[in-house]
């Protein structure tokens, strides 16, 4: 059931109903044969007329609801309304009841002989007319005879052809089409609307001009109220934290839905427009309600995400927080689109055709935006594998930097020189990435040369002393083979010495500080051992990881 019809039905059901004509058990509508449906319609029309006359004599909310329920009972039980959009089905059904009552009251009653030879036929026409009844052949109402959908579409045409003819049915004194066109709710029933200027009482879009203008005015007031509220929210929201900001924005579509429902309920119950103006107003309000629902669903997706990120379990700058935001970026539009597709079906746009069009369009869009889709899945693979997190320092290709954000299309990486590099997720997911932040320590490796004339005992003492001095530093890890100092080369003029040590340094800044201390240890130790020798010709080649 449409959102609008559910809201209006809830309002009507909430009102007390004490009118005598609407109490008690009503007989079941007889639709077992064309003649039974025909006679049932006329019988219900007589009951409807009594309710209407009572309401006109003493306008009240109870009386208006009683008349409306009687019309809805006739429309739902005796007419095939399947061709009408769900959003306007109730209103169009009541108008069809008024047209059909005026027409049938001016036709002679068919005799039982007119259906004597019906047999297995599924269609029957009122004798001498194009008014048809059809037998339902499937569904829960299979076997019932209803006034056909194609006949309902032509009722205005039939009505114009016969309305000038005299009434042939007894005790009929209501021109239902005219009564519906000029009817008002109980708050306006006692106003002398016939004293309005002629141009306001003239007909436009199937309803008096004053009703159409009032309907448009109500919609404009809703728009102005919403623009004012949205402006206040736009000024206030940026000052609030994310969860409260999303919650405040959620009040905008909710307020729109409430204002549209109240405005339309007043129009339907008091102004009672008819014709195309009524259908247009109902469709506009229904579209507005579904748009508000889609907007609310969109905001609700983001509200749930921000509420989850606000918990201590998910830090704002964590990979999980970025994953949730990515899911919101993808899920919120899909959820909103689902609501809009359902709403399109409610106003008469076939949902199946719309879904097929969306599917074909989605395939074409995916082919046209293949790189975007590839980047999206690349981002999802990064979130799934978690090779790095937001805030980590990574090395990718020939570059390195700190990850600032991971979006649905690309990742933003801040280099040591302050530049910001945007790398497509698909490329980042394919290349080899080194997570510098995730390392458990660093390797200090340094190579230098001493003259080949350095005495061997001094070289042996130097190597032992280098191991001892490096091990004395608390940041240097000690194991069976670390730290170490070894002769690694001889060139005839010089001997090559390489020292290695694992150090507790996870960031580049920490490693640079440790490396400086170790280099000073090397310089001091070499100077101490070779103070009687010529200055060492050091050729340093620092390799650190």
Among 3-7, 163-167, 321-325, where is mean pLDDT lowest?
A: 3-7
Least Cα distance to 185 among 265, 69, 276 occurs for 265
CA angle 479, 484, 490 (to 5 degrees): 155
Yes or no: say if 97 and 71 are a contact pair by the CB < 8 Å rule. Answer: yes
Look at residue 288 in the predicted model and tell me its pLDDT: 93
pLDDT for 490-532, tens place per residue? 887 888 888 888 887 777 777 788 788 888 888 888 887 766 4
Distance CA 152, CA 93 (A): 9
Query: What global pTM score does this model have?
Result: 0.64
Yes or no: say if 289 and 357 are a contact pair by the CB < 8 Å rule. Answer: no
3-state secondary structure of 81: coil
- Distance, CA of 440 to chain centre: 44
Least Cα distance to 441 among 394, 477, 479, 478 occurs for 477
Yes or no: say if 253 and 295 are a contact pair by the CB < 8 Å rule. Answer: yes
Q: What is the DSSP letter of 114?
A: G
* pLDDT of 254 strictly over 50: yes
* pLDDT of 65 strictly over 50: yes
Q: What is the DSSP letter of 512?
A: H
The strand pair at 132-135 and 145-147 is best described as antiparallel
Domains of the chain: 3-191 (no CATH), 209-367 (no CATH), 379-435 (2.30.30.60), 442-544 (3.30.70.100)
Look at residue 193 in the predicted model and tell me its pLDDT: 77
DSSP per position, 6-64: HHHHHHHHHS----GGG-SPPPPP--SSHHHHHHHHHHHHHHHHHHHHHHHHS--HHHH
Largest CA distance in the chain: 138
* pLDDT of 404 strictly over 60: yes
pLDDT category, 374, cuts 50, 70, 90? Answer: low
């Amino acid at each position: 059931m449409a959102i609008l019809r559910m809201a209006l039905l809830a309002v009507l059901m909430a009102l007390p109903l004490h009118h005598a004509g609407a109490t008690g058990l009503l007989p079941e509508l007889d639709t077992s044969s064309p003649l039974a449906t025909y006679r049932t319609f006329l019988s219900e029309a007589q009951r409807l007329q009594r309710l209407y006359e009572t309401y006109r004599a003493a306008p009240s909310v109870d009386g208006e609801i009683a008349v409306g329920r009687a019309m809805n009972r006739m429309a739902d039980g005796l007419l095939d309304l399947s061709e009408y959009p769900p959003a306007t089905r109730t209103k169009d059904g009541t108008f069809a009841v008024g047209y059909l009552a005026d027409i049938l009251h001016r036709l002679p009653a068919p005799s039982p002989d007119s259906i004597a030879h019906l047999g297995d036929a599924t269609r029957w026409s009122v004798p001498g007319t194009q008014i048809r009844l059809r037998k339902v052949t499937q569904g829960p109402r299979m076997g019932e005879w209803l006034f056909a959908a194609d006949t309902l579409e032509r009722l205005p045409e039939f009505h114009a052809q016969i309305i000038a003819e005299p009434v042939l049915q007894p005790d009929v004194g209501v021109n239902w089409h005219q009564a519906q066109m000029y009817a008002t709710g109980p708050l306006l029933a006692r106003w002398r609307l016939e004293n309005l200027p002629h141009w306001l009482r003239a007909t436009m879009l199937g309803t008096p001009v004053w009703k159409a203008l009032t309907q448009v005015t109500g919609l404009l007031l809703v728009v102005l109220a919403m623009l004012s509220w949205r402006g206040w929210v736009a000024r206030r929201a940026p000052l609030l934290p994310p969860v409260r900001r999303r919650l405040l924005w959620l009040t905008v579509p909710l307020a729109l839905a409430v204002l549209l429902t109240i405005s339309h309920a007043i129009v339907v119950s008091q102004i009672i427009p008819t014709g195309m103006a009524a259908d247009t107003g109902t469709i506009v309000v229904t579209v507005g309600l579904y748009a508000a629902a889609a907007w609310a669903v969109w905001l609700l997706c983001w509200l749930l995400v921000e509420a989850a990120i606000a918990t201590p379990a998910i830090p704002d700058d964590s990979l999980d927080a970025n994953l949730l935001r990515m899911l919101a970026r993808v899920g919120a539009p899909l959820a909103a689109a689902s609501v809009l597709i359902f709403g399109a079906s409610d106003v008469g746009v076939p949902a199946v055709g719309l879904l097929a069009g969306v599917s074909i369009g989605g395939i074409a869009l995916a082919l046209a935006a293949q790189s975007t889709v590839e980047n999206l899945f690349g981002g999802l693979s990064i979130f799934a594998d978690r090779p790095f997190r937001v805030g980590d320092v990574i090395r990718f290709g020939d570059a390195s930097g700190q990850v600032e954000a991971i979006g649905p299309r690309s990742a933003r990486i801040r280099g040591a020189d302050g530049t910001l590099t945007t790398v497509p997720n698909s490329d980042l997911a394919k290349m080899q990435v080194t997570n510098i932040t995730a390392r458990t320590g660093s390797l200090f490796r340094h190579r230098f040369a001493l003259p080949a004339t350095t005495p061997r005992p001094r070289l042996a003492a130097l190597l032992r002393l280098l191991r001892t001095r490096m091990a004395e530093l608390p940041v240097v890890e000690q194991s069976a083979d670390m730290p170490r100092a070894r002769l690694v080369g001889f060139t005839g003029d010089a001997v090559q010495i390489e020292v290695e040590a694992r150090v507790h340094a996870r960031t580049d800044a920490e490693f640079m500080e440790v490396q400086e201390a170790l280099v000073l240890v090397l310089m001091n130790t070499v100077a101490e051992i070779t103070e009687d020798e010529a200055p060492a010709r050091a050729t340093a080649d620092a390799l650190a990881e």
